[in-house]
């Protein structure tokens, strides 16, 4: 039977008169109700592992805006934590992890099959959501791509140029490859359980793919994404996968064929017209309004939103931002974006 939910229809290649819409970081600090629930949980990580409250914050933007998809509330850095890394969040600064620098550090990590010990509450969040989401809303699971996760594990934090990961890759390729392999295996286990728990689509976030060039892009962005996608589709035939090789530039061309993903998520540095001609020709694309419009709003938001819908109107398209909404985003502007996508808004 053909899927009826609009997001699944777009992922299957259907061209819809109005694209389905959701928003990266749609559950987040720009919403007062999110901040209240996070305070109730204590902190961000406690919220991720509290299945009831994580389901609640996943539902908040669905109730408020009626998005076509809900994305599981969790984080890409739960995988390193489940493998044994220390993880904490410095308020106002971002994530901190124990660094992976030596073979001895790596030897302390758990095997991939052990990640469920830590991640079981995440599967419970998904099970709650399968019961509580409106019938027309698609449930998206996710994980970080191995390269992006590795950059945080190696540096112990976010880095502007992923320098420490590039250095380890060059100076100790055996250790770097072993780490990539472990993350890849753990990600397959994690996403597979997410699908069993009710995720109808999974998205692989390679936020730092843009710093991989040439053969490195093939080996560390394309190959792991292809392996995860193939393994998931083997275990769960027909499960749609969205790939997000952020800032991949020209390497967006051919990404879907090289990896087997059903949809490519475009960041906002990509020109929509160019992407319609070079990327959407082979399947569904997602994106790609710049997040600053959620802060600024106004005519520019309406103009850009219309231009993106127009550029992608001849092929399958899921409307989204090109990256996550920031804490300064204004919920009124989110509503204006949605109205513009759905009704053209004047």
The reply on whether position 38 binds ligand CP3 by CB under 6 A is yes
Residue given tokens 């020709």 in the structure block: 281
Q: Identify which of 86, 11, 74 has the alpha carbon closest to the alpha carbon of residue 283.
A: 11
**Three-state secondary structure readout of 121-165:** HHHHHHHHHHHHCCCCCEEEEEEECHHHHHHHHHHCECCCCCHHH
User: Could you say which of 68, 75, 262, 267 is catalytic?
Assistant: 75
Using CB under 6 A, which of 7, 77, 209, 222 touches ligand CP3? 77
Using CB under 6 A, which of 6, 26, 187, 211 touches ligand CP3? 26
* Contact stretch for ligand CP3 (CB under 6 A) within 23-31, 121-129, 234-242, 296-304: 23-31
- Can you tell me the distance from the alpha carbon of 216 to that of 166, in angstroms, rounded to the nearest whole number? 10
The reply on whether position 96 binds ligand CP3 by CB under 6 A is no
Contact present, 183 and 79 (Cβ < 8 Å): yes
In the complex, minimum distance from the CB of residue 325 to ligand CP3, in angstroms, rounded to a whole number: 8
* Contact stretch for ligand CP3 (CB under 6 A) within 26-34, 166-174, 247-255, 295-303: 26-34
Look at strands 94-97 and 87-90 and give their pairing. antiparallel
The reply on whether position 71 binds ligand CP3 by CB under 6 A is yes
- Can you tell me the distance from the alpha carbon of 28 to that of 246, in angstroms, rounded to the nearest whole number? 20
Q: Is 190 a catalytic residue?
A: no
Using CB under 6 A, which of 25, 193, 251, 293 touches ligand CP3? 25
The reply on whether position 73 binds ligand CP3 by CB under 6 A is yes
3-state DSSP call for residue 284?
strand
Active-site residues, by number, are 25, 29, 38, 75, 152
| Positions in the binding site for ligand CP3 (CB under 6 A) | 24-29, 38, 44, 71, 73, 75-77, 94-95, 142, 158, 205, 207, 324
């Amino acid at each position: 039977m053909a899927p009826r939910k609009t997001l699944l229809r777009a992922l299957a290649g259907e061209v819809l008169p109005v694209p389905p819409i959701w928003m990266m970081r749609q559950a987040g600090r720009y919403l007062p109700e999110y901040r209240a629930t996070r305070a109730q949980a204590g902190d961000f990580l406690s919220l991720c592992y509290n299945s009831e409250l994580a389901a609640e914050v996943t539902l908040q933007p669905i109730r408020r805006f009626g998005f076509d998809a809900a994305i599981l509330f969790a984080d890409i850095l739960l995988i390193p934590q489940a493998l044994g890394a220390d993880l904490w969040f410095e308020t106002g600064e971002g994530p901190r992890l124990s660094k992976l620098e030596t073979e001895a550090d790596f030897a302390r990590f758990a095997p991939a099959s052990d990640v469920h010990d830590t991640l079981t509450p995440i599967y419970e969040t998904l099970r709650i959501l399968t019961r509580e989401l409106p019938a027309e809303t698609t449930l998206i699971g996710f994980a970080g791509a191995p390269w992006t996760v590795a950059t945080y594990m190696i540096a112990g934090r976010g880095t502007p140029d992923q320098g420490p990961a590039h250095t380890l890759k060059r100076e100790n390729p055996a250790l770097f490859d072993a780490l990539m392999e472990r993350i890849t295996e753990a990600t397959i286990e994690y996403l597979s359980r997410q699908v069993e728990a009710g995720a109808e689509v999974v998205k692989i976030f390679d936020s730092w793919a843009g710093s991989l060039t040439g053969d490195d892009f093939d080996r560390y962005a394309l190959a792991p994404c292809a392996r995860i996608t193939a393994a998931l589709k083997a275990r769960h035939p027909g499960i749609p996968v969205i790939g997000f090789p952020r800032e991949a530039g020209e390497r967006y061309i051919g990404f879907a064929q090289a990896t087997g993903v059903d949809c490519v998520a475009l960041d906002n540095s990509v020109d929509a017209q160019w992407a319609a001609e070079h990327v959407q020709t082979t399947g569904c694309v997602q994106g790609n309004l710049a997040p600053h419009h959620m802060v600024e709003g106004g005519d520019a938001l309406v103009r850009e939103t219309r231009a993106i819908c127009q550029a992608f109107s001849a092929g399958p398209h899921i409307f989204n931002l090109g990256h996550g909404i920031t804490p300064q985003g204004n919920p009124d502007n989110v509503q204006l974006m949605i109205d513009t996508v759905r009704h053209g808004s004047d």
